[in-house]
Amino acid sequence: MENIPSLDSDLSSLAVFASNASRTLYCIVDSFQSTPRPIRELSRDLHVLMEALGGLGGMRDLFTDTETLNLRFILVRCGVACKDFKEVVEKCLPYPDDGSVDRRCWTKLQYMGGNVDTFRRLLLLYLSAFEVTVESTHLRLQSFVDVKSLESHEIRIKHAKSDIEDFLENLNYGICPHEMKQLEEQRLGIEKCLEICAYSSDSIDLIQVKTEENGKVPEADQPTAFPGSHAKGSFSTINNYSTGDAVLFTVSTNGKTIHGSNKALGWRSRFLTGHVNDQSVQQISKDFALMNTGHLERKESSAGKSTSVAADNPDSCHPGTEFVKQYGKGKILPK
């Protein structure tokens, strides 16, 4: 077949090859009138595939060597599959001027011992491999990955792996020699999709996620990232988490970039996030402390309890210098 690039070609060139092949097929399929449901679904899936292929070339420098090798093979097989099916369509469907085709003609379309749905499922497997790779790369480059995103990625990989294995088990090998060569080449491409899933699944383990029993939230001193994805010292990762009321700070006083989050279950929790100077941090800390003290005063007063260790001797409860520096003047609670 003409114009098939070598596997050694640049990833961007292979992405363009597959994209052009899928676009050509899409234009042909979409031009027919009154198409049956399987063909309408094929047209829709080809459009999604074109969009996915459009972004692969620009990410070529972000993929690992293993991902790049697998993607090269899959891109070639994807492009060849579209070219093969284009020839099937042009051979089996007489194209009238008005674009209408007898519905019975669509049943003549055969590919790898199957029908239109066989070809469509093959394209969806390649699409899944592209999406899994892109998502893995995005997660790997993030300094923080929340648990929900990680779980969603794991589910996507499992579904893709299940679909690929099911497709391989149901390949029809009782076909003519010419189609057998075609089937064998595409089978190798499908197996590369399985390798993509296995590699992406293993990569999840490299994301250092430490969880707590209740929240499954990364600890404050542990950035959730792949090793080496960022230069050391270029940013700080602060992930605060509290199961009750809390005062949480995610601030930079020296202009350094911050990645992270503040999370607390208590409805009275207070947060400070951003770039703030030292004096402001100290003042806001005092203000937050006063707010919390006022809440305790109201709470204890309404309950009729005393939190003062010496209500009859106020001087014994007067806050010291260090207390005032850290939390403000404070208040003596009533008996």
- Model confidence pLDDT, tens digit, residues 166-180: 999 998 877 887 788
| Percentage above 90 pLDDT, the chain | 36
Low-confidence winner among 59-63, 98-102, 113-117, 217-221 (lowest mean pLDDT): 217-221
Mean pLDDT of the chain: 77
Is 144 a member of any domain?
yes
Q: What is the pLDDT of residue 145?
A: 75
Cα 119 from Cα 5, distance rounded (Å): 22
Alpha helices in 144-176, H assignment, sequence order: 147-169
Q: CA angle 224-229-231, nearest 5°?
A: 105
**Residue 3 CB burial class (10 angstroms; 0-12, 13-18, ≥19):** exposed
Is 183 a member of any domain?
yes
Is 227 a member of any domain?
no
Contact assessment for residue 46 and residue 80, using Cβ atoms and an 8 Å cutoff: no
Give residue 320's pLDDT band: very low, low, confident or very high (50, 70, 90).
Answer: low
Give residue 291's pLDDT band: very low, low, confident or very high (50, 70, 90).
Answer: low
pLDDT at 213 over 50: no
Q: What is the pLDDT of residue 250?
A: 74
Q: Stretch 192-196: mean pLDDT, rounded?
A: 96
Cα 38 from Cα 208, distance rounded (Å): 43
Question: Is the domain of 185 the same as that of 245?
Answer: no
Is 210 a member of any domain?
no
Question: Is the domain of 34 the same as that of 166?
Answer: yes
Q: What is the pLDDT of residue 220?
A: 37
Q: Stretch 3-28: mean pLDDT, rounded?
A: 93
* Tokens 């592209």 -> residue: 130
Which contiguous run of DSSP H or E holds residue 248? strand 247-252
Q: What is the pLDDT of residue 230?
A: 39
Question: Is the domain of 245 the same as that of 160?
Answer: no
Question: Is the domain of 43 the same as that of 177?
Answer: yes
Give residue 223's pLDDT band: very low, low, confident or very high (50, 70, 90).
Answer: very low
Write out the residue range of the structural domain in which residue 283 sits: 236-327
Question: Is the domain of 196 the same as that of 242?
Answer: no
Cα 13 from Cα 19, distance rounded (Å): 10
Question: Is the domain of 159 the same as that of 300?
Answer: no
For 168, the token pair is 């391989």
Cα 329 from Cα 316, distance rounded (Å): 15
Residue among 326, 145, 332 nearest 247 (CA): 326
Question: Is the domain of 183 the same as that of 53?
Answer: yes
**Residue 155 CB burial class (10 angstroms; 0-12, 13-18, ≥19):** exposed
Question: Is the domain of 132 the same as that of 278?
Answer: no
For 277, the token pair is 């100077």
Cα 66 from Cα 14, distance rounded (Å): 16
Of residues 162 and 306, the one with the higher pLDDT is 162
Question: Is the domain of 163 the same as that of 85?
Answer: yes
Question: Is the domain of 64 the same as that of 191?
Answer: yes
Split into its structural domains, the chain has a count of 2
For residue 311, give the DSSP letter.
T
For residue 8, give the DSSP letter.
T
Q: What is the pLDDT of residue 301?
A: 52
pLDDT at 278 over 70: yes
For CA atoms 80, 82, 83, 89, the dihedral sign is positive
Q: What is the pLDDT of residue 332?
A: 67
Helix axes 11-31, 37-56, angle to 10 degrees: 160
pLDDT at 315 over 60: no
Is 270 a member of any domain?
yes
Is 62 a member of any domain?
yes
Dihedral over alpha carbons 24, 27, 30, 31 (to 10 degrees): -130
pLDDT digits (tens, 9 = 90+) for 85-135: 999 998 888 665 566 777 778 878 889 988 999 999 999 999 999 999 999
Question: Is the domain of 136 the same as that of 42?
Answer: yes
Is 226 a member of any domain?
no
Is 33 a member of any domain?
yes
Question: Is the domain of 57 the same as that of 131?
Answer: yes
pLDDT at 40 over 70: yes
Q: Which of 204, 221, 255 corresponds to the end of one domain?
A: 204
Q: What's the whole-model pTM score?
A: 0.62
Phi, psi of 100 (to 5 degrees): -85, 140
